[in-house]
Amino acid sequence: MKLWMRRSGRLATAALLCAALTWPAAAADPFEEGRKAYQAAQFEEALRLWRPLADAGDARAAFNIGALYLDGKGVPRDPATAFDWWRQAAEAEYVPAQHNLALTLIAGDAGEPDYAEALHWLVRAAENGSIKSQYTLGKMYYYGLGAPRDYESAYEWMGRAAELGHAPALYNVAKMTRDGIGTEPNAKAAYMLFSQAAVAGYGKAQAALSVRYLEGDGVDRDPERALFWAYQAYDNGVSRSKLVIEAMTAELGQEKATRIAKEAKATPQ
């Protein structure tokens, strides 16, 4: 290597070292500092750091301040103030705020419930990709809240959430598919959807799946699988699955039922 190259290399290294030593430390990000304070349960400090950001239009900070007010962290609990902060963030297209704003309009703890406005914000959040909003929007159409009952729209929005693995959505779409609500009835497709939700640990889907196996609906009848899923559902709090457990135990015999019960308990839900 030529001498000038070695010298210039050393000079560059020295210059970098000087720059590193003399350059002022990067200013702390007040939003991140606020998050650190929040995680340490220093809620007043988090609010102090987030408030100027929210006032300057930072939707993330405005959303988090709303959450502090809803939970009464560092401030007296005040759902109406939470609502106001979420509205600010929602209008700036911050999706979690759109979701919370809609749910607060349904919950009615920051004023009278307003399903029509809730629907408006759920549509925005759902179109912005919120899976939870897609599912809730589907339920709103299903029950006719905020708009006339519309099973096709309910099926479509819950279907979007189901495609992304949302277990309650999978279960609801499975029921609609089984019963031909908002779509053509299809027992085999319903069985597949119930299976997906059941494997995801959703108790009501496990109960429904056990009945599919019990009745041979959409799948070949299989008393052992019916009993397995009934045990899983029962352990998940679905008390009516006890009827399937009793019926299948009577059919299969106690010894086989005990083995399946052990298998169900050993299977993570």
Given the rule CB under 8 A, which residues bind other proteins? Answer: 35, 38-39, 41, 43, 46, 60, 63-64, 67-68, 70-77, 96, 99-100, 103-104, 106-109, 113, 132, 136, 139, 143, 145, 237-240
Residue placing its CB nearer to other proteins in the complex, 73 or 120: 73
CB of 166 to other proteins, least distance (A): 12
CB of 158 to other proteins, least distance (A): 14
Residue placing its CB nearer to other proteins in the complex, 24 or 76: 76
Cβ proximity of 236 and 258 under 8 Å: no
CA 76 to chain centre: 27
CB of 96 to other proteins, least distance (A): 5
Residue placing its CB nearer to other proteins in the complex, 74 or 223: 74
Largest CA distance in the chain: 93
Residue placing its CB nearer to other proteins in the complex, 82 or 173: 82
Cβ proximity of 63 and 96 under 8 Å: yes
Burial of 181 (0-12, 13-18, 19+ CB in 10 A): middle
CB of 230 to other proteins, least distance (A): 15
Number of helices (H), then strands (E), belonging to the chain: the values are: 15, 0
3-state secondary structure of 114: coil
H/E element, 145: none
Residue placing its CB nearer to other proteins in the complex, 41 or 116: 41
